[in-house]
Each structure stands twice: as C-alpha cells, then as structure tokens.
C-alpha cells in the first residue's frame, strides 16, 4: 500500500523546529507511519529546478496539506506573494484536504500580509491554535486519525482518541478541568483562561470523538474514570524483603484521574522509603535525602501511567522491595524504539499523545524523550546503581535500585525519631498544617494551588510531616487529615 503524502507549508525558518517535530512524530508513530509520509522542502536534494517549481509540484502530488501560520509572511516573489500563500492557493484550487494550525501570538506581532491570508483561511476552514510543539503534534495526531477514520483506512482509532462508550460531558469534572487550566497557565503559559467552558477546553485538547468525550478525556478529567476503565487504577505494594511474598505488609489500590494516580502512587513510595534528615547548616530549610531521589520515583511512575496500554485489562503495578523499586505497565516499546535507545536521548514516541500533551502542559513531564535519561543521570549523581529497563512479556518494567547506605528509617526503621529528635518544621510545612486546620479534607491540588508550588513539592512536604508525626491520613482517598503535632519543636524562619 502506498503511503499518503503530507505537504507541510510554512515559513521555513520561523518553524524549523516544528516542521522537524511533525516529520519525526509521524515517522516514529507506529500507526501514522503505516499510512503517511511527510514532505519537507528542506529534505529535498539540490536540483536544477527552481524552488517554486519544486514545492508547487509537491503540493500537486500530496494528498494532505498542513499549514503552520505564525508571525512572518516570508520571502515575496515579483508579485509580492510568499511561497506559503502560493502553496495554500494551489492546495485550495486542487481541493486537497487542508489542516491549518495557527501559532497563538498577539495579532499585532503578525505580518499584515499573513494576517490577511489568515482571515481568508478562516473564512474557508476551521483552524486550530497551538502554543507549544506538543500541542501541535497532538493536534496533528487527532486530525490524521480522524482523516483515517473518515476515509475508512482504519475502522477504529487509537484507544486514547476513540469515544469512551456511554460517557458524556456530564462525566467530566469541572473542578478538575479548572485545576488543569490554572496549573497549565502557571507552568506553560497555556492560552485558555480559567473561565473557559469545559467543552471548549476538551475541544482545544482534542478530547472529543464526535460529540462524545474520548478515553483520554475521561482518564484526564473524569469524575470517576474507573467506572469506564476499571484497569486504569494503580496497584502499589510494599514488601520488607527482596521477593514477592504474602501477606503483603502494605497494599493500596489507587483510583482517579491520571494526575491523581501519579500523585497517590508517588506519595505511597516516598512514605515507605528510608530518609535522612540533615541540618540547617546551609540555610533555614532542613535538608532531607531519600534512598531513591523523589524525581526518579516520579519519572518512573509518570512514564508508566502516560505510556501504558489502556486497552489492556492489566493495571500499572508499583512494587517496593528492600533493595529496589519496580514499576510495571502493560504494553511493549514501540517498534521504532529499543531498550538501548532509552539510555540516551531519543525521539519521543508517546503511546497516548492526547494524554501526554496535558501532562506536559502541567509540567508532570518535561521535554519529550529525556525522562529515562534523566533518571539515569540522577541515579548516577547520587552514587547509585543505574536503573534497568526491561520488557517482560506484555509488560514494560523499570527497576530502580535503592541506595540504603547511610540512610535509615522510613520503610525499614519507621519514621526515624520525627519530632522527638528536635526536628524543626519549616515555614512551608507550618503553612500546610494551618491549611489542614482550616479544612481537614483539603486535597494535594488545593495545597499546591494555594502555595503556588507543584504537586511533587506538596507530596514531599506532606510525606515529611507524616514522618515527623505532625499529621496522619485517616480513611484513605475519601478520608481526612488529622493534625497530631503541629510543631512542638518550633518553627524554622
């Protein structure tokens, strides 16, 4: 089967990074790579033909036309017309399928001729806005999947993009959408305001399949995601030895959105790790050291949640042993990635792009393709054995070895001596206790929002307060906080 040609039109210099990202994304995606091939003018070998003749000929040959509209209008020919406008006019004349993506910038920053072209485009087509490259690739992904469905090249879309059966907009939590908007605006200068209607947010993030929320929408913002996707829960286990054994000393099954799952699983692991509390020798804040860096724990769990196969009946499993942490998720590596490539910078090949984009916008994940390398570097800098990545049947597993030398307490020795050792609460920890006094059912998200810090920082502070004996959680996910010792040892300035 011959692949469908995609012509990418834009001011080449302005969108050099985005053009390459589109090509690499499609080439590395297992589904899209089967059906599409991307043409970029910069990939064409030098020819005797004029540049205009080459690019217009490629527009004629392509099936799909993708335009990126930004600030610049580009080089103008003798008639004052840029290549981008010439390409668009020819694609329109030839009735090509056209997808338009507009960079979200101030109107005053856009060239007057590009503004005029954009107005003409808007009178003919629906266009999508994007601010970050991840938003662009997610939009491209959704558009191409929809094209494949409409042309019956595929009869069902990728799992995250297909409608979640029996769901409706009523199953989406407005509170969770508002939290997302606030965090995405703070972390990535996300374009939509906090007052944007829920339906508009989902539409912007490509989270509808027709008029129905898709699986990604439910997993990201659902009131009860596991009502529709039972196996999307996370199972967390803690064993005192180095092997699986019964009875399991600590076993929790966490439910909620992908954000909830990550926060709860990370908190579970950090609460069981050994920890060493330092002094205030280098500043007012008491330092602490875990036997696995918290950032490594977070990265391993986020990767499992973001890249798992949600069509599988299996769940993500997080197992903490005396010597290691194992994180397993259903699903193998994409065909375009190998285990060895995970140990060096590599192209991002998200299994669930519509889930990965909001995780990026909220800064749960950083630059694509760097997570596994970052884990390796952090472990190396901590003097630890390097993480292992393996594929076991239908599961991908990350193994992180604990650095137990010189660190006691936590999972094996209890919460060290906590408040009885004279540990001093920091100002931030006292602020959290004050919030709990005012609202003992306050969530991690609410604390993060009120303190203007990220979720992992809140988890770290809560874990510290629990180990110091200052607070405890009563009743699990639907329970409440209880203040036990709000700082008898004093308060650090």
Condensed to tens digits (0 to 9), the pLDDT of residues 190-233 reads 999 999 999 999 999 999 998 999 999 999 999 999 999 999 99
Map out the domains of the chain with their CATH numbers.
4-155 (3.40.50.300), 160-227 (no CATH), 231-345+361-401 (3.30.565.60), 415-483 (1.10.10.10)
* pLDDT > 70 in the chain, percent: 89
Q: pTM here?
A: 0.62
| Cβ neighbours of residue 394 closer than 8 Å, sequence gap 6 or more | 309, 312, 314, 330, 331, 332
**Banded pLDDT at 176 (limits 50, 70, 90):** very high
3-state secondary structure (DSSP) of residue 101: strand
Condensed to tens digits (0 to 9), the pLDDT of residues 243-272 reads 998 888 899 999 999 999 999 999 999 999
Which H or E run includes 401? strand 395-401
Nearest-10 Cα torsion for 358, 361, 366, 370: 50
The pLDDT of residue 424 is: 55
Length of the chain measured in residues: 493
DSSP 324: E
418, pLDDT greater than 60? no
276, pLDDT greater than 90? no
DSSP 12: T
> Which has more confidence, 17 or 441?
17
Cα torsion angle, 183, 189, 192, 195, sign: positive
* CA-based nearest residue to 328, from 293, 300, 299: 300
DSSP 341: G
* CA-based nearest residue to 206, from 50, 298, 99, 55: 99
Helices 294-307 and 455-467 cross at an angle (nearest 10°) of 130
| Cβ neighbours of residue 473 closer than 8 Å, sequence gap 6 or more | 466, 479, 480, 481, 482
**Average predicted confidence (pLDDT) for the chain:** 86
Cα torsion angle, 226, 231, 234, 236, sign: positive
> Which has more confidence, 104 or 431?
104
- The answer to whether 333 and 341 have CB atoms below 8 angstroms apart is no
362, pLDDT greater than 60? yes
Which tokens is 444 given? 């991690």
Catalogue the E-assigned strands of 180-336. 208-209, 212-213, 234-238, 250-254, 275-277, 288-290, 316-320, 324-330
């Amino acid at each position: 089967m011959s692949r469908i040609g995609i012509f990418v039109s834009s001011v080449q210099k302005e969108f050099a990074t985005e053009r390459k990202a589109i090509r690499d994304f499609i080439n590395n995606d297992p589904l899209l790579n089967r059906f599409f091939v991307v043409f970029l003018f910069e990939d064409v070998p030098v020819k005797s033909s004029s540049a205009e003749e080459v690019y217009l000929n490629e527009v004629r040959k392509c099936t799909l036309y993708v335009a990126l509209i930004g600030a610049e209008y580009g080089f103008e020919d003798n008639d004052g017309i840029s290549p981008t406008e010439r390409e668009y006019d020819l694609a329109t004349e030839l009735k090509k399928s056209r997808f338009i993506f507009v960079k979200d910038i101030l109107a005053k920053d856009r060239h007057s001729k590009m503004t005029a072209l954009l107005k003409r485009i808007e009178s003919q087509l629906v266009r999508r806005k994007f601010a970050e490259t991840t938003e662009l690739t997610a939009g491209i992904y959704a558009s191409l999947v929809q094209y494949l469905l409409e042309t019956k090249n595929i009869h069902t879309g990728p799992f995250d993009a297909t409608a979640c059966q029996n769901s409706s907009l009523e199953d989406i939590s407005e509170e969770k959408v508002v939290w997302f908007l606030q965090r995405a605006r703070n972390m990535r200068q996300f374009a939509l305001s906090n007052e944007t209607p829920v339906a508009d947010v989902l539409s912007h993030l490509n989270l509808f399949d027709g008029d129905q929320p898709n699986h990604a929408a439910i997993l990201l913002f659902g009131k009860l995601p596991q009502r529709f996707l039972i196996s999307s829960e996370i199972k967390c286990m803690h064993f005192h030895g180095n092997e699986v054994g019964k009875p399991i000393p600590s076993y929790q099954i966490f439910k909620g959105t992908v954000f909830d799952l990550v926060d709860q699983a990370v908190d579970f692991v950090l609460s069981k790790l050994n920890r060493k509390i330092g002094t205030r020798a280098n500043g007012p804040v008491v330092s602490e050291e875990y036997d696995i860096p918290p950032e490594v724990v977070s990265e391993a769990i986020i990767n499992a949640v973001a890249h798992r196969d949600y069509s599988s009946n299996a769940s993500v499993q997080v197992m903490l042993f005396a010597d290691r942490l194992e994180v397993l998720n259903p699903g193998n590596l994409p065909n375009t990635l190998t285990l060895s490539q995970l140990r060096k910078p590599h192209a991002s090949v998200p299994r669930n792009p519509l889930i990965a984009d909001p995780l990026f916008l909220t800064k749960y994940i950083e630059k694509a393709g760097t997570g596994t390398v970052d884990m390796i570097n952090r472990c190396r800098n901590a003097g630890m054995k390097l993480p292992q990545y393996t594929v076991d049947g239908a599961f991908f597993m990350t193994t992180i070895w604990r650095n137990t030398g010189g660190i006691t307490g936590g999972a094996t020795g209890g919460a060290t001596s906590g408040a009885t050792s004279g540990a001093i609460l920091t100002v931030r920890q006292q602020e959290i206790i004050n919030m709990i006094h005012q609202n003992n059912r306050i969530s991690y998200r609410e604390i993060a929002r009120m303190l203007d810090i990220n979720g992992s920082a809140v988890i770290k502070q809560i874990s510290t307060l629990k180990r110091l004996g200052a607070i405890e959680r009563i009743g699990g996910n639907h329970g409440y906080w209880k203040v036990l010792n709000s700082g008898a040892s004093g308060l650090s300035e």
